[in-house]
Amino acid sequence: MAKQAKTAIKTKDQKAAAEAKNWTKVIKAVKSAKSGSYTFQEGIVHKDKIRDFLNRK
């Protein structure tokens, strides 16, 4: 029965699933000027805008 439910989810909204593949989770390490420790910025970004996210300060 679990296999049927799993395939139903896959075929239910293929257009949304195809669009979801264009998005990526990006994590960037940023060094703090005050303390010298690192913090992490993360975001879910469209695959065409990954470089913009990483070049942002």
Task: Parse the chain into domains and list their residue ranges.
Answer: 22-57
Say how many CA atoms lie within 13 Å of 53 toward its Cβ: 18
Q: What mean pLDDT, rounded, does the chain reach?
A: 84
pLDDT value at residue 6: 59
pLDDT above 80 for 52: yes
Average pLDDT over residues 34-39: 94
Residue 18's pLDDT band (boundaries 50, 70, 90)? Answer: confident
What is the rounded CA–CA span in Å between residue 47 and residue 54? 12
Q: pLDDT at position 8, please?
A: 56
CA 39 to chain centre: 18
Compute the average pLDDT of residues 19-39. Answer: 93
pTM attached to this predicted model: 0.61
